[in-house]
Amino acid sequence: MKEGSSEAPTRHPIDWQDPAYTDLDALDAEMRRVGDICHTCRRCFNLCGSFPRLFDLIDESETGELDSVASSDFKSVVDACTLCDMCFMTKCPYVPPHEFNLDFPHLMLRYRAAERKHGIKPGFGESQLTKTDRNGRLARFAAPIANWASARGNALTRPILKGVAHVHEDVVLPKFHSKTFVAKAAQHPVAVNDAAPAKGRKAVLYATCFVNYNNPDIGAAARTVLARNGVETEVVYPECCGMPQLEEGDIANVADRAARIAGLMTGWIEGGYDIVAMTPSCALMLKFEWPLMLPDNPQVRGLADATFDLSEYVVDIAKKEGLADGMTLLPGSVAVHLACHARAQNMGAKAAELLRQLPGADITIVERCSGHGGSWGIKSENFPVALKVGAAAAQRTAAAGAAFVVSECPLAGKHIVQGMEKIDGALDKLDSTKVFHPIELMARAYGTAE
């Protein structure tokens, strides 16, 4: 056995259908095995709330070891995990193929799946937040009212939301749009540039629930930039990828979605289309998480192989064919946050690579966790911790003094700006408090932004 590992991390399939996966005794034994290894290493102490909680439990126990930590206390460790994968990807020296075989995020997922199996589930109000498709379809019929009710500072409705769904009163929530990205794309075709070097490429834009219902500007920018570069696109959105359900340990739900969506996308792939996911969390699901849940499903594997993250796809065009001419200089510098779920795809800093294609781009990279963690970060008990974890990212973004704040993860970007509010003068140099996806700045450079 060797200490640490210099080999690339690998992940094993998730044996969620094996009864042993949710067996409480087997789970407790694995929690203690992994916890003991983490305790003797502690390299990950500053990543998130999970590890300090684990180490405090051990240090404050009777013996100072795992043997005197109650099994029930592990729940606090699990509840602090956002499934960001940064411990697995960037810190832990004992991930597979090392024989210690540590995969901390997937162990936290297993714990949540076991809780669900044994009847411990999120409350009704909290579970409603994860029904993104249902919520988006309903909210678009009354978007102004929904946005008023969810607005930060609404003293009438936000306390109710806190009481019912445990959403912190001060967290900035996504806005809804009366017209979805799918609807906008159907009504407004874009002309493909036949003279572009990448002419002949075809891509399906997997809209994702967030872009479809909450931020169609990202999708619109992607369509225009890709059309300018000769790429024929189709917008497809069968349903949410299931990341919110994964966070709750509902693996069967996610696996069902994976099989359905992969079955639908197979026809497009066979027709020569690439699949491009609009947000990094969804790209991560399609490319990595789904094949681990359904390793024997050839359609899921085929979809994973055909899927690109949006920034990754544009950079691939730039490297292989070259981008179309016509971009102009942006009026200011850019601070670009590298989102955790983009980093977890192990594809390199594609957001920064994309922005470097812009003429005269002045870029500062912020490679620290925003602290948001999806639906985790909006909860009353987690939001203060989320701001604390994201303080370094907010400080580095503020220190850049940039005109534009950029993140591939819209939730992470908004959370960073919220952290910057606590720093005197941090927002003064911004072009606006809007947080951009890199593709939106490229659309602006091309003059095609709506």
Q: Which residues of 146-168 are buried (b: 16+ CB within 10 A; e: fewer)?
A: bbebbeeeeeeebeebbeebbbb
Q: Which CATH architecture has domain 181-319?
A: Up-down Bundle (1.20)
**Alpha carbon 308 to its chain's center:** 14
pTM score above 0.85: yes
> Each residue's pLDDT tens digit in the chain (450 positions)?
555 566 778 999 999 999 999 999 999 999 999 999 999 999 988 888 899 999 999 999 999 999 999 999 999 999 999 999 999 988 899 999 999 999 999 999 999 999 999 998 888 888 888 899 999 999 999 999 999 999 999 999 999 999 999 999 999 999 999 999 999 999 999 999 999 999 999 999 999 999 999 999 999 999 999 999 999 999 999 999 999 999 999 999 999 999 999 999 999 999 999 999 999 999 999 999 999 999 999 999 999 999 999 999 999 999 999 999 999 998 899 999 999 999 999 999 999 999 999 999 999 999 988 988 888 889 999 999 999 989 999 999 999 999 999 999 988 999 999 999 989 888 887 877 789 999 999 999 999 876
CATH code for the domain defined by 327-446 = 3.40.50
